[in-house]
Amino acid sequence: MRIGIRLVLSFFVVGCSTANKSVGLGGAVGAGTGALIGGIADPGKNGELRTRNVLIGATLGGMTGMVAGSLIHKESEKAKKEAFLAGQKTAVPATPGAMPAISQPRVETHWIEGRVQGNRYIEGHFEYVIVEPARWDVKQ
């Protein structure tokens, strides 16, 4: 019971960072898997070794899962950094005046006459309708 409470509380503590979440999730999955395997392992005469097997399996699985979660996180961060650097190398440098222009939107103006609607009077007003939105003028 105490282990379960500590495990749940540890999830709130590891919620601060992505690396900690990866390690915590790996540890939780590993501990659960290890506990299941420990429960399946030979329980000895009359099941006297089952609790020990479950605890050993959960401990070893949790440690293995934490290491695996850490390694997976490091690899994904490395891949993100490499992709970012590759994108920087292939990016076209911005030069002044090279930014494409924006076309003006086409807007229609409609006059709406004043009217009475139920117990309300709606004063006459203009409504503006965007017929064609602004677009980038990219000329290559």
Is the separation of the CB atoms in 29 and 65 below 8 Å?
yes
The answer, yes or no, to whether residue 7 has pLDDT greater than 80, is: no
Q: What is the mean pLDDT of the chain?
A: 84
Strand pairing category for 115-117 and 125-132: unpaired
Mean pLDDT value across residues 106-133: 95
Cα separation of 40 and 113, whole Å? 81
- Report residue 94's pLDDT band, with 50, 70 and 90 as the boundaries: low
pLDDT value of position 45: 83
pLDDT value of position 16: 46
Four-residue CA torsion sign, 49, 52, 58, 61: negative
Cα separation of 61 and 7, whole Å? 14
Highest mean pLDDT of the ranges 15-29, 78-92, 106-120: 106-120
What contacts 24+ positions apart, CB below 8 Å, involve 7-16? Answer: 7/31
The answer, yes or no, to whether residue 83 has pLDDT greater than 50, is: yes
Mean pLDDT value across residues 34-44: 86
